[in-house]
Chain A
Amino acid sequence: MRRWLWLLLVPAMPAWASDALSDAEATVWLNRISDAARSVPYEGIFVMQMGDRMQTVQVENRPQGTASETRLVVLDGKPREVRCSRQESVALDWNAKGERLQRRIGSRHFPDLLPKDVGNLVKYYSLIPGSTARVAGQDCQIMELVPRDKYRWGYRLCAEQYTGLPLKAQMLGAQGKPMLQYAFVKVREGVSGLDSSMRQVKVPASNVVQAKSPVMASQLPPGYSKVIAVKRKLPDHDTEVEHSIYSDGLNHISIFVEPAPKHMVDLEGESVHGLVNLRTRKVGSYQVTVVGDAPAAAVEMVAHNLVVAQ
């Protein structure tokens, strides 16, 4: 019942609305959408499209108090399963050698894309309501998060009219074109009981530890702050790397720090559709790789303001 009360709280949306909402109105909307992804029990199938790639994913969410337990199963391509709960997030991969279980250092996934604290979003994005649409047979309200500066990509969400659950999410590039998008093709409220194939898994001891990075960014794009810093082993790497993540709540930038090899080459790269940008450079005696699902300006700013921590 509590889920429906938000309809009274959210300001009525006129059909012609196209201007940015006030900060107070935007906060109400974003809080609702953020909460719905965790507090609404649901199960369904969504499609993820990034460039030319598509993946179909089965998802089910069981609210548990203020948190939730979510299971995502990739239905095509390489088998993969992700489980997120309040305590931890793990990923199961299957390959020729068998099952591989890894802890993830975050629990972000569609449709749970917005942070719990939406204050930062209101500061750095305008929220513009759009028209109503229909996704997976359900009516939803389009809401667009438009960046206020050049350091972040925008998002277009379509929130289910009664619960606020995002049924569709698009990450928008510089020209407002979708670079990454998720959309439910089938979704229903409620969970039909534990799937028989959803057996309990024994989670291994953490392979990541909190760390203090020897290299830090002296200047960050506005609104970005450090989320976590861990020491972890990457595939094909002999030594551990320090992995720090900075975020504004929607865009994320990773910094990987490791001892520099003898002959290193500075690199820059961008994904085919511009979503991901990368810079590798030498700072002191370290090789630092900056990767972000953020505009080049943001990744560039971090990469050019790296200093060895005193």
Chain B
Amino acid sequence: MTMQANYAVSEADAEQELWLSAMFDGELDDNTATHVMNRMPRDRQAQQRWREYSLIGDAMRGCAADHSRLEKRIKDALAAEPTVLAPVAKQHRQPVYWAAAAAAVVAITWTVLSVAPVAVDEPGPLASNAPTSTLLEHSGFAEGVAQNDVAPYLSAHQDYAFAVAGDPDMNIRPVSMTEGAQ
């Protein structure tokens, strides 16, 4: 391969980089987004690039990516969807709406992929430790004070449960818990 050909390939790559990057950032206009969406299924290189971007994004956000599992979960969820026996009448929409909807789906999917914590392993029958209460703003809350406040309870509990375990380091947060009981 000649230097000229290498340069041409690099230029094409650079162009691809640009529109893929713009796609990720949601900066493409509707027409271009439609064009890109149509091109993606036929362009294996672009698909590969898209996957790499996703991995880089996950890594930068500190998420352990496991897209195979995610894909499986999505497939399972789709399989579990109820079958529509009486579909609604097909509506004719302007192409621009389809393009906008496609762009929105891409943007939302990317956002979900970016912010959703990806399970490294299925927890199985064991519990997840993810807190379920709503977090409040930390403004004005001294975590050191909370740690001291809960220390006597921890000591009393640990003394019963373990005798010699000592008090654990706790991450304490103020929360708003819905009062389910009176």
Do A234 and B156 have beta carbons less than 8 Å apart?
Answer: yes
Chain B contact patch, size range: 35 or more
Name the one of A55, A105, A236 contacting B152, with C-beta atoms under 8 angstroms: A236
A149 interface residue, CB < 8 Å from B?
yes
Do B163 and A104 have beta carbons less than 8 Å apart?
Answer: yes
Task: Quote the shortest CB–CB distance from B148 to chain A (angstroms).
Answer: 8
* Chain B window 113-152, contacts with chain A (Cβ cutoff 8 Å), 1 for yes, 0 for no: 0000000110101111111110000000100001001101
* Chain B window 171-182, contacts with chain A (Cβ cutoff 8 Å), 1 for yes, 0 for no: 111111111111
A199 interface residue, CB < 8 Å from B?
no
**A272-B160 in contact given A218-B181, A296-B131 (Cβ < 8 Å):** no
Contacts of A266 in B (CB 8 A): 133, 174-177
Contacts of B161 in A (CB 8 A): 106, 108, 252, 293
Contacts of A267 in B (CB 8 A): 146, 149-150, 172-175
**A109-B164 in contact given A174-B126, A267-B174, A278-B153 (Cβ < 8 Å):** yes
Taken together as a complex, chains A and B put the C-alpha atoms of A271 and B168 apart, in Å, by 6
Question: Which residues, 259 to 282 on A, are CB-close (under 8 Å) to B?
Answer: 265-282
B73 interface residue, CB < 8 Å from A?
no
Q: Report the stretch among A159-167, A186-194, A299-307 that lies at the interface.
A: A299-307
Task: Quote the shortest CB–CB distance from B108 to chain A (angstroms).
Answer: 29
Taken together as a complex, chains A and B put the C-alpha atoms of A136 and B174 apart, in Å, by 44
Taken together as a complex, chains A and B put the C-alpha atoms of A272 and B154 apart, in Å, by 14
Task: Quote the shortest CB–CB distance from B123 to chain A (angstroms).
Answer: 5
Contacts of A176 in B (CB 8 A): 126
Do B165 and A180 have beta carbons less than 8 Å apart?
Answer: yes
Contacts of B154 in A (CB 8 A): 276, 278, 291
Taken together as a complex, chains A and B put the C-alpha atoms of A153 and B125 apart, in Å, by 10
Q: Report the stretch among A29-37, A45-53, A61-69, A114-122 that lies at the interface.
A: A45-53
Task: Quote the shortest CB–CB distance from B75 to chain A (angstroms).
Answer: 24
Do A289 and B150 have beta carbons less than 8 Å apart?
Answer: yes
* Chain A window 85-123, contacts with chain B (Cβ cutoff 8 Å), 1 for yes, 0 for no: 000000100000000000011101110000000000000
Do A269 and B121 have beta carbons less than 8 Å apart?
Answer: no
A245 interface residue, CB < 8 Å from B?
yes
A200 interface residue, CB < 8 Å from B?
no
Question: Which residues, 1 to 49 on B, are CB-close (under 8 Å) to A?
Answer: none
Do B150 and A278 have beta carbons less than 8 Å apart?
Answer: yes
Measured CB to CB, the nearest residue on chain A to B154 is A291
Measured CB to CB, the nearest residue on chain A to B172 is A269
Measured CB to CB, the nearest residue on chain B to A291 is B157
A82 interface residue, CB < 8 Å from B?
yes
Taken together as a complex, chains A and B put the C-alpha atoms of A307 and B180 apart, in Å, by 9
A133 interface residue, CB < 8 Å from B?
no
B162 interface residue, CB < 8 Å from A?
yes
B62 interface residue, CB < 8 Å from A?
no
A40 interface residue, CB < 8 Å from B?
no
Name the one of A51, A105, A298 contacting B127, with C-beta atoms under 8 angstroms: A298
Do A254 and B157 have beta carbons less than 8 Å apart?
Answer: yes
**A72-B164 in contact given A175-B123, A267-B175, A291-B154 (Cβ < 8 Å):** yes
Measured CB to CB, the nearest residue on chain B to A305 is B181
Taken together as a complex, chains A and B put the C-alpha atoms of A53 and B132 apart, in Å, by 28
Do A55 and B173 have beta carbons less than 8 Å apart?
Answer: no
* Chain A window 142-162, contacts with chain B (Cβ cutoff 8 Å), 1 for yes, 0 for no: 000011111101100000000
Do A281 and B177 have beta carbons less than 8 Å apart?
Answer: yes
B159 interface residue, CB < 8 Å from A?
yes
**A293-B125 in contact given A270-B170, A272-B168, A278-B170 (Cβ < 8 Å):** no
Taken together as a complex, chains A and B put the C-alpha atoms of A109 and B178 apart, in Å, by 36
A168 interface residue, CB < 8 Å from B?
no
A20 interface residue, CB < 8 Å from B?
no
Do A108 and B177 have beta carbons less than 8 Å apart?
Answer: no
Contacts of A9 in B (CB 8 A): none
Do A297 and B159 have beta carbons less than 8 Å apart?
Answer: no
Name the one of A48, A105, A236, A305 contacting B165, with C-beta atoms under 8 angstroms: A48
A243 interface residue, CB < 8 Å from B?
yes
B54 interface residue, CB < 8 Å from A?
no
Measured CB to CB, the nearest residue on chain B to A151 is B127
11 A-B pairs besides A174-B128, A279-B133 with CB distance below 8 A are A51-B168, A84-B163, A151-B127, A174-B126, A256-B153, A265-B141, A269-B173, A270-B171, A293-B157, A304-B178, A308-B182
**11 residue pairs A–B, Cβ–Cβ below 8 Å:** A55-B166, A91-B159, A110-B163, A254-B153, A254-B157, A265-B174, A284-B182, A292-B157, A296-B130, A304-B178, A305-B181
